[in-house]
Amino acid sequence: MAPYLLGLRLDGRRVLVVGGGRVAQRRIPAMLAAGASVTLVSPGVTPALDDLIAAGRVTWERRPYQVGDCDGAWLVHACTDQRDVNTAVAAEADAKRIWCVRADDKDASAAWTPASGRVDEVSVAVTAGGDPRRAAGIRDAVVGALRDGTVDARRHRSKPVGVALVGGGPGDPGLITVRGRQLLSQADVVVADRLAPRALLDELPPDVELVDAAKVPYGRSLSQEKINELLVERAREGKFVVRLKGGDPFVFGRGGEEAIACARAGIPVTVVPGVSSAVAVPASAGVPVTHRGVSQEFHVVSVHVPPGDPRSTVDWPALARSRGTLVLLMAVERITEISETLLREGRSPETPAMVVQDGTLPTQRAVSATLSTVAERVAAVGVRPPAIAIIGEVVRVGQEIEMVRAERIP
């Protein structure tokens, strides 16, 4: 017979757990999250449970189960590795009309623990006839759909308000954060950058207003002032606006300017960090920006103005002296000036360099060189933006990784 599903509000209520193994380790954190007062009876516990006990979050009776332990409990979990003990615990709980979950025998258990998950105010619980693996698989699918907005995204009684500055990641649509994708699915208006993951825009419902806020280098663009005005205007109309950006909104994304504009207009702003291309693109090319014994630091530089330009705030002599990794954004058009400046200021001509175009996308390609030859290589191969330059010894680490991989492939 199908169980009657019920959500227990355990705040301040005593829950007894008998057994300190892996099952208890999985279940107790969820009970604590529900506010339960957990008493654990077991001769021993796992290290994870030991941490909860040391923090004072669980009361531990360091002994075997005894008759009478169920007294005062609202819920009991019998999860030892001894069937006779679990049977005795369940029998006492049943005699005292206390719901008991047996971990070892679903058919003899008065209650089942569902595979559960939570997304905002929505809780999901799946029993699947007492089959925990099947229940967990279904739970994961439903929770995933809730998180990315596939299910119930725009049916809330109350929806988000104001503007969300969402970092879309380095390009691959799979690298947007769960929170970012969820808010995108709830948007009434989406103001999208050129480097935002455009594939996600195809999933938007037809009634969502899409504003192209592309800033094409040396080409057409929507001014930042106009973008700020659009965000404020649409939000004042009562619409939820998502400003979808490439990378992270606060890493060379001008998100700070947009946040200030909204704040001045009294518009609520939510900031959703994104995976920055400054670390994601080198990683996608197999290059770690730091590596033990090679580089303890990395510098992320926007080269939207060249070295020596009065508008530049970059200390190029200091970067040339540094032994750290240089990650240069918007550098392709100025790679000649950059390499000449670093060489002139003391960086070795043999410093490894790599330029990665279309990082994380199917069209990604990488060009390896040295600091003295990188400008020539970029021109010869025809690398175009968007691309990121990496300068430093970590490039050799990436090359070593590829060599080891190649040697191990049969």
CB 53 within 8 A of CB 75: no
State how far the Cα of 211 lies from the Cα of 81, in Å rounded to an integer: 59
Burial letters for 60-86: b for 16+ Cβ neighbours within 10 Å, e otherwise? beeeebeeebbeebbbbbbbbeeeebb
H helices of 112-244, in order, are 132-148, 178-185, 224-236
Q: What amino acid occupies position 10? A: L
Handedness of CA 206, 208, 214, 219 (dihedral sign): positive
State how far the Cα of 377 lies from the Cα of 389, in Å rounded to an integer: 12
Residue 174, SS3 per DSSP: helix
Report, as residue numbers or ranges, the catalytic residues: 193, 215
State how far the Cα of 186 lies from the Cα of 119, in Å rounded to an integer: 14
Enumerate helices (H) and strands (E) in the chain, giving the number of each: 12, 17
List, in order, residues 6 or more apart from 385 with CB less than 8 Å away: 217, 330, 332, 333, 357
Burial letters for 317-343: b for 16+ Cβ neighbours within 10 Å, e otherwise? eebbebebbbbbbbbbbbbebbbebbe
- Show the tokens assigned to 252: 């060379």
